[in-house]
Every structure is written in structure tokens, then in C-alpha cells.
Amino acid sequence: MDLRTDYPFWLLDEGIIRSYPSLPHDIHTEVVVMGAGISGALAAWHLCKAGLKVVVVDKRHVGLGSTAASTALLQYEIDTPLTELSAKVGPRDAARSYLLCLQSISDLGKICQKLPEAGFKRRPSLQYASFKKDAADLRKEYKARKAIGISLQWLEKEEVKNKFGFEKDAALFSRDGAEVKAYSLTHALLHDCRRQGIRVYDHTEIKSVVEHRRGVELIAADGKRIKARKLVIACGYESGVYIPQKVQTIHSTYAIVSEPFENDHFWFRNSLIWETARPYLYLRTTPDKRILIGGKDDDFSDPRKRQKSLSGKARALESSFGKLFPALDFKTDFKWAGAFASTKDGLPYIGSLPGRPHTYFALGFGGNGITFSMMAAGMIERSITGRKDPDAGLFSFSR
């Protein structure tokens, strides 16, 4: 699958951080992780720290799939608002899903304390009402989040104007957000695990997976084989070929990054910014004094149409930004597009399928894919090491 256009900012900024050999011969291991993006790296890191022997394989270089194109805003807010999610899955499960996302940001921050190259930084988050009619629903969302213990503020029109400089009728301001460099974090996690014996193989395309009574066997395109006790599939949007039912809908999304500015202060605390409209516009800053804008999603997934749409979408993103911040002279330096998946309820799919007890999926679909991946890594590690997880059913394939 063609997951993105050729020139995402993070890849050009960081380059090929590290490369690994292809699978040299048949091997045995305790756990094999298929997919060396951020989801696979987090899963491998957790399993490695639990003392398991882990092998990671990917048909590309590490992090060169969707991870290189990730805009990496870390938010506890799920694409489906808490009020809507409560109607879909029930108030208890909806509340728990939000709180787990909130916890995952803190958990990731603790990991990144020893990985400074990951660029993890705490940021507040602002969600504004795109239109006046959205303010009433946003107020309901505010009350719902407060009711489950999430700390946030309600901002009226004047407060939005005073803090952020643009005019919107209402907004929610949350302190609990963060940003990270997903591509760098992926490499940092795998490099950290190599000290404990993890093996990583680039350019190793798996053509078939066979599950046996006591484990799994992966067969690569060149015929080499990997036998393992457990398998974690973390191939993102390409994982659908291993799932009998459709669990995702693929869209196209777009992002642009500005030229560097002279100053690194753009708006109140350089908060993450997003809106209530669907698809939503979102903004963040970068460590080198740039502004990143994303959104303008399309319902199609055809990579040729995505590429053809990119220039027009970049102009549309610039225009939307200009309406919010006319005083900031945004000049696009990088632009790219990528695949984006959604699910029926906005939640990830984590765990195993009936009849396949040795295979686990870490599928963090949606706008907060990294926080979902963090949750998946912990849940899968607990399952493989035989610990019961009371939240496992929230994201199961049978929900």
C-alpha cells in the first residue's frame, strides 16, 4: 500500500537515522513484531523491557511508512467526542477510553525522559467551536469531560480572543496534551532495546503467516522463516489483509510545514489547536520555529488522487490558517499527504481474534494513533506475559 507522498517533513529533517539488515536466515524467537513504525516500536519496547526475546521485521526501513508522515499531536481527546462515544459504547466504556488516553500521554512522557531525541514536550490543547452553532454541543462536551474528572477550562469568545488572538464563540482549553517527533521516537525506542538483544530486520517482507497450536510461523518473500511463540501485527493500515472483517475506512489527509520564523512564540503557550468541524483543522509548532498545519481530509484513498490533490490542499490549509492568524506570514516549506484510517467508533483495535490465540493486533487508527499505540503496547505486553487486563474488552474485535 502507498501510505504517503514522498517528502514528509520529519523524514527530510532527520534523514535515515539508522538502518538495519534484512533477515539473513531462518530464526526462532519468543515474540515477533511485524511492523517497525511507532506502533511496532512501542510494542517491542514494552515486550523487551518485560524480558522477552523480540524480533522486529518490516518491509521498509524503520519508520518509513505512516510514521514518517505523522504530525504527532498527542491528545487524550478521541476523534469521537465523549458525548457521542457514550451513546455508541456506553458511558462507562467511553469514560474509561478517554481516561486511558489521558494516562497514555503521561506514560509516554516517562519513557521519553530518557530519550531526548524523541522531542517530547508537554503542550496545552485548545479545541474551538468552528461555527456559532457548535458552541452548544461543545458546552455539553465540557460538562461530560468534567464529570469524569478531566481537568479543562471553558473559554468564552472574549477569552479566546485575548489568549489566542482569533475570534471564535467558545473553546475548550486542556492542559493535558503533548507533542513528539514520531519518526525519531521510533528509532530511539528500537535503538534502546538493542542493548537488551532485540533484533531488527529492514527490507523483510512477510508473505504469509501460519498459526500453529504452539506458536506462529512467518514466511518472508525470499522463503526465509521466522518461528515464534507469539506474533504482534503492527502494520497500521496494511494490517487489514490479516483480519477477516473490515474494521477500518481509509481516507487521505494532508499537512504543511512553514518556513522557520524568527521567533518561537506564536500563540498562547504554543498550544495544540484543533476545531469541532469534521474534517478538522489542527495546528502545532516544531522545535525549529515552524508551524505545522494538517487536515482537509478526503474520503478517498487512491494515492494518485491524493498526490494530484496535494497542491490545492496545501493552499486551502494556508488559507484557513490565514483566517485565524492573519498577522503570521505563513510560507509553506514542506507539504505531504498520507493515508488515514477511521473506525466505527473512533477507537483502536487491540488484541487477538477468535481462533488465533498467538496473534495480537496493535491497530491505533484515528487522530490519536500514537496514544492508542501506547495503550496497545501495554495491553499486549500484559496479555503475553499472562497478566489480566480489565480494560482489554474496550478495544476488542468483538465489541
- Distance (Å, rounded) from C-alpha 133 to C-alpha 137? 8
> What cell does 193 get?
532495546
Ramachandran assignment for 282, one of left (phi > 0), alpha (psi -120 to 50 degrees), beta (any other):
beta
pLDDT band at 6 (very low <50, low <70, confident <90, very high): low
pLDDT tens digits along 307-328: 999 999 999 999 999 999 999 9
| 3-class secondary-structure state, position 16 | coil
Q: Which CATH number fits domain 121-177+248-342: 3.40.50.300, 3.30.70.1230, 3.40.50.720, 3.30.9.10?
A: 3.30.9.10
Q: Which residue has the higher pLDDT, 15 or 113?
A: 113
CA dihedral angle for residue 390, residue 340, residue 46, residue 68, rounded to 10 degrees: -170
pLDDT tens digits along 29-65: 999 999 999 999 999 999 999 999 999 999 999 999 8
- Closest C-alpha to 231, from 95, 384, 101, 364: 384
Domain(s) of CATH 3.30.9.10: residues in the chain = 121-177+248-342
Q: What is the pTM of this model?
A: 0.94
The secondary structure of 203-244 as a DSSP string is S--EEEEEE-SS-EEEEETTS-EEEEEEEEE--GGGGGGG-S
CATH class, range 9-69+183-246+346-395: alpha beta
- Distance (Å, rounded) from C-alpha 387 to C-alpha 374? 17
pLDDT exceeds 70 at position 1: no
Residue 135 vs residues 18, 132, 170, 276, 367: alpha-carbon distances, Å: 47, 6, 6, 9, 22
Antiparallel, parallel or unpaired: β 356-363 and 349-353: antiparallel
| 3-class secondary-structure state, position 129 | coil
pLDDT exceeds 90 at position 211: yes
Domain(s) of CATH 3.50.50.60: residues in the chain = 9-69+183-246+346-395
- What is the per-residue pLDDT for 98? 98
- Distance (Å, rounded) from C-alpha 271 to C-alpha 127? 10
pLDDT tens digits along 348-379: 999 999 999 999 999 998 888 999 999 999 99
DSSP letter at 189 equals H
